[in-house]
Chains A and B, each alone.
Chain A
Amino acid sequence: MPALFIGGAGMLSNADIAFVPDQYFRKGSVMFRYIMRRILMLIPVLLGVTFIVFSLMYITPSDPAQMMLGANASPAAYKQMREDMGLDAPFIVQYGRFLFGYKHPVFGYKGLLFGDLGRSYVSNRIIFELILSSFPNTLILSVGALILALLLGIPIGIISATKPYSVADMVFTVFALLGASMPVFWIAMVLIYTFANNLRIFPAIANPRDFLSLVLPIITLSMNSMAIIMRMTRSSMLDVMQQDYIRTARVKGMDEKTVVFKHALRNALIPVVTVAGLQFGSLLGGAVLTEKIFSYPGLGSIMVDAIFQKDTPQILGSVCFVAITFTVINLAVDILYGFIDPRIKSTFSTKKKLVRGNQ
């Protein structure tokens, strides 16, 4: 499987520019089989994800039975509740129930394999219904942040790359990196303090139905991605600008603007598009903090609350959903990569050593 993205706060190394979905190109026409393989590979990954998340939730010291019973529940009622919720069963039995279903008139469900985890312990809503209704909100935020990151990151990256190591390059680099160097909640607080409290331009509570209120959270969320896209554009541009055909174009006497925008940019943007796609995946997961500060009703806040309240079915459902989304986005990016760059096959075979050696 090709390198997809590197964890952490989304910092990427050059290794990622060079990734190429090898199977795809070796087999060429068997794209369909490639996609099917990727989707099949999702199954063990999802099983692993549920197992890890379930294990973590299992040892989390919260107690949904106690929470549901409220203060001063008698030991008898507590015992009854644990039995009803199936919390007294051994670890492996409980995990099995999440996969294959649990029979109980109040707390029962069909199981993750059948797409039903019943109702949340806390909100008593149908788990996947809640996920599907809050996911679009997170999506709005992430798409907005990605667009903003591209709009700012690419031009800044180009400017920096055209004059590497100049003052302008330095200033822009610092500017872009600033966003990736501040804790998200700090950025958000300063933004709220300035634009909501003092200037009264944007509201401090975000709401998916009101565009104006989305401005601050989108800026907050886009900071990190903008830095990554800017750096990727810059290094990719620098790389392309040294290619022979750019030199040829320059020698031929083309003016710098044409060289940069007509010849270099098109090729330099290919890895940027890939990174942008991958960033989109991490924005979906990274929106948690932004959502929390702006009290925005997204999937992120639901997941964090679920972890703290040990709402195991809710968190299992949500994490599986996110994992599937991640995989689908990554797959789409891989396929897209092949489409935008038809030359890639030949480039790949000739430049193989160079690309690999750099990894």
Chain B
Amino acid sequence: MKKFLSIVLICLALGGVVFAQAKKGPTLRNRDPDTLVFVLAAAPQPLDPNIYTTLNEAQIMREINETLIGMKSDNTFYPILAETIPTIQNGLVSKDGSVYTIKLRKGVKFHNGNPFTADDVVFSFNRILHHPKSSSKSMFSAVLSVVKVDDYTVKITFGKLKDPEYATVALTSWEDRAKYMTASPYGPALNILAHYCSGIEDKETVEAAGADYGTKIVVGTGPYKFVSWPNPQEVQLTRNEAWWGDANTVAFKNIVFRAMSEQPQVNNVLITGEVDMAFNLSKLDIGNLERNGLVITTKPGVTIWYGVFNMNSDLVGQKKNGKLDLSGQYTEGDSTHLRRAIFYSINPVPFIKQVDIFNGYAVPANQMMQPGFLGYVEGAPAGTPFAEFNEKTWYYNKEKAKAEFAMLSPEFRAKLGPESVTLVVGNVTDRVKIANNIKDQVKTTLGFDLIKVVPMVNAQIIQQSKTGDGYDMVVTAWFTPTMDPDYTCIIYGGDSIGTGMNGALYNNDIVNKNIQIGRYSLDRKTREEAYIKVQTQLMTDKPYFPMVYENVLFASHPRVGNLDQAIFKTKLVDIHLLTRLQ
């Protein structure tokens, strides 16, 4: 019995240890103070900016490969590898706005000592556009040609397809581009030149390394250079002392990138001080992070969470005699009413408050465009479809929802069984939670359990979205890394039907025309007007329900400073701008 008692005592002691609460700030125990440990959401793909585009490797690559032009956290452009920003005023952009002459910075060297020249620029753009594995082909598709003028000057010409029919042709060389494209001004030109995918790579090194470039050999001109990649989850960089910029302003000598997919675990390691910075944290208990001495930085982001009504669906779509009917004016059928009834039943404001979804780090969205972008309609101006919006209840309107629901014809109503509207959602906890909330809200508002939530693998959703079969609604999110409205327009442009991005199969001539105007003109005013027209039309037709704009949220060790300048709306951080406070 004595033994038994002693074991009970040991168990109690262990229990005490488990619940022992020790509040200590993050420390740097067993860690080199010169090294910044940065958490990535998943293992990065190869560090080859021209080919790979996901956020994880982008965060690493932007410190290694510099772009011609940069964008600051306040969305203004500044030259990096270019000497000046080309504009029509300084004559570096041709009168018609299609040709950009870029003067390259002289005396810049790659990490291995190779000089940076116009050949590297031409080479890099060729890789983006014509490498079989490149994943940013479509983002740069408006580039018609990149031509070397002399060692320190390149001419970049933008253009568009001579005929929209050519969209089915895969352009695989400069010759193809010249054949199928014609020069044209391009609205987001500077934005894509500032995008990390156009990071300049060293022609000589890349050609010599072959397929090993990006995993074993990585070379750039940036403030940090590649050291090693000991395992898929960890990448090490060190300061480039020979950086053309001032290496002395770079505060951290080394960076270690660490992939961690378990969000609660990210919070743990932030608290213990094993890592310095992370964005893929569990938002649930930010207060606890703050109490433990971590610094929380939050900014409005460029991620919009939205829902899609499939226009091809019999229940919520917009079809007439079995065909899509969206050319501006259309007849309001049963499916139109049901779509509106669902639209007005939803209220995303509670999701924003919900601790385990956004936990306050998001704002309600009134349109399918991110705030601050060209053509964003501020607030709820009267006389527009945005007038129904307000910050507290979004577009939610119980009476309207019920009225629309009551307008359904008896035959149509009889067809609607419980859970007859399929809401497809990516197989990720957050998304499933949001989808279930929507299901609940529709049930509460209409008094009828209409929606069935079907989680699916993302690829499957994209595949189904290409043809619009097998679903009525989708809940998803869109992220605009270029910071230009044109990239957001992919969601509803008629020309992206078939790519799987326009999940509503929305194809409205007014919208399409204005997207084209916005894309192929340089004048800000013209572009803005076009985009406002797009948004107004979208909120009139309601093929989408914009839900929230998600904030960018970073937690960092108290020793890391200058966060406001370094953190971007795109969830990326200019690590070389960070400072050391301790």
Contacts and interface: CB of A to CB of B under 8 A. Distances in A.
Interface of A: 60-63, 66-81, 84, 106, 119, 122-125, 130, 133-134, 137, 167-168, 171, 175, 189-190, 192-194, 196-200, 203-205, 210, 212, 292-295, 297, 301-302, 305, 310
B457 A62 contact: yes
Contacts of A80: 132, 170
Interface of B: 1, 3-4, 7, 17-18, 20-22, 24, 27, 29-30, 42-43, 45-46, 53-54, 132-133, 135-139, 141, 167-170, 211, 214-215, 230-234, 258-262, 264-265, 268-269, 271-272, 274-275, 456-460, 462-463, 466, 490, 496, 498-501
A124 B17 contact: no
Contacts of A301: 232-233
Given A61-B460, A74-B170, A123-B43, A200 B137 contact: no
B268 A167 contact: no
Contacts of A175: 7
B459 A62 contact: yes
Contact of A302 (B46, B232, B466): B232
A76 B496 CA distance: 12
Given A70-B53, A167-B1, A198 B20 contact: yes
Contacts of B264: 189
Contact of B138 (A61, A73, A122, A294): A73
Nearest to B31: A203
B138 A197 contact: no
Contacts of B169: 76
Contact of A171 (B3, B133, B167): B3
Contacts of A294: 265
10 contacts: A71-B490, A73-B137, A74-B141, A76-B167, A123-B215, A198-B21, A199-B20, A204-B274, A205-B274, A295-B258
B27 A200 contact: yes
A198 B232 contact: no
Given A193-B268, A204-B274, A295-B261, A67 B459 contact: yes
Contacts of B211: 106, 119, 124
A199 B463 contact: no
A72 B498 CA distance: 9
A293 B265 contact: yes
B500 A297 contact: no
A123 B232 contact: yes
Among A72, A194, A198, A292, max chain B CB count under 10 A is at A72
Given A76-B170, A200-B24, 15 more contacts: A61-B456, A61-B460, A63-B460, A63-B463, A70-B139, A71-B501, A72-B138, A73-B138, A77-B137, A171-B3, A194-B18, A204-B268, A212-B30, A293-B265, A297-B234
A125 B53 CA distance: 17
Nearest to A62: B459
A77 B170 contact: yes
Contacts of A168: 3-4
Contact of A199 (B17, B132, B168, B496): B17
Contacts of A305: 42-43
